[in-house]
Amino acid sequence: MHRTTGRLADGREIIYYDEAAPRVPPADPRELPPAAAATDLRFDPLLREWVAITAHRQDRTHLPPPDLCPLCPSAPGRPTEIPAASYDVVVFENRFPSFGGGRGRCEVVCFTSDHHGSFGGLTARRAGTVMAAWADRTAELSRLPHVAEVFCFENRGPEIGVTLDHPHGQIYGYPFVTPRTRQLLDSARRHRAETGRCLFTEVLDAERRAGIRVIRSTGHWTAFVPEAARWPVEVHLYPHRRVPDLPALDEAERADFCDLYLDLLGRLDQLYDAPLPYVAAWHQAPARSDRDLSYLHLQLFSVRRSAGRLKYLAGSESGMGAFVNDVVPESVAARLRDLG
């Protein structure tokens, strides 16, 4: 894999991850206005959580037709966010960031130049290139003094709220440790104080012993539906070796993940004979705290609860944060095992 860096017309960074040979990043011919202003971060003292106010994101591109997709390669007379005529995997700073201006950073990850593709349709080699990009960006962003946590994720499908159809994900460099991560680490800290053991390891070991919610286990990874799944479809993927983040995985673990994940995505699209909308979220250690408590894992979940129905976050979930799941986790796991 070859990594080369360039700049877009407004000064944003763009990084190409090429599989065959290094490239000279082409110039961006566009005339762009200056990058968006810094995020307005506000602290909620009742929940002790940060909220980002991003009025500039109201004007971001929303579901353009394929011939106007900003994530496709540039063509004569049609420049896009990627000046190159082709690419394997590319990462660039978001033009409409949720965090930025010295208060975090947001990047877009394009998995393929094929507008009509998907992560599940990638080759194992290309999935490995995406993993290498995730690891590289995690390491780079973690070194920035204003980034406290790095979050790699993919939103797929308009039902999730995707605004661009092109196969892509995002990377957030948060200027704070997120509420979800703080809660996970608080639980892990309490468990270690009470038992002297790792909470995440014990959860993984219990699921592997029980087997009833395991979808597939490989030499280095296990995919399972959690016992207390909040979402109609929810799968967690854990490496068998406890590591804090993506850069800490070795080559064998990365290759094994790609095999398992591509297989899982294929099964998920068979659940309702249609592309499944989902969020795939990497949980990594904070950049500079509690790394000894953390355990890298991927959480994938979907709002699809049946062939023609979605789960909406209604009063209990939205108002009180108390989830009610209409789908039995063991039944989802059984169906996914059978679809292998």
E strands of the chain, at which residues?
Answer: 2-7, 13-18, 40-44, 49-53, 89-93, 105-110, 149-156, 168-174, 214-217, 221-224, 233-239, 278-283, 297-302, 304-306, 309-310
Catalytic residue (choose from 2, 56, 62, 168): 168
* Cβ-contact 320, 180 below 8 angstroms: no
For the chain, helix (H) and strand (E) counts, in that order, are 6, 15
The whole-angstrom separation of Cα 194 and Cα 201 is: 15
The structure tokens listed for 289 are 């705290």
Check whether 115 is labelled as a binding-site residue: yes
Count of beta carbons in the 10 Å neighbourhood of residue 126: 20
251: left (phi over 0), alpha (psi -120 to 50) or beta: alpha
Three-state DSSP string of 109-127: EECCCCCCCCHHHCCHHHH
> Is 116 annotated in the active site?
no
Residue matched to tokens 């995002």? 170
Name 288's Cβ contacts closer than 8 Å, sequence gap at least 6: 142, 148
Sign of the torsion formed by the C-alpha atoms of 289, 290, 291 and 295: negative
Buried residues in 81-96 as b, exposed as e (16+ CB within 10 A)? bbbbeebbbbbbbbbb
Check whether 69 is labelled as a binding-site residue: yes
Q: Would you name the residues annotated as active-site residues?
A: 168
Q: Which residues are annotated as a binding site for Zn(2+)?
A: 69, 72, 115, 166
Q: Which residues are annotated as a binding site?
A: 69, 72, 115, 166
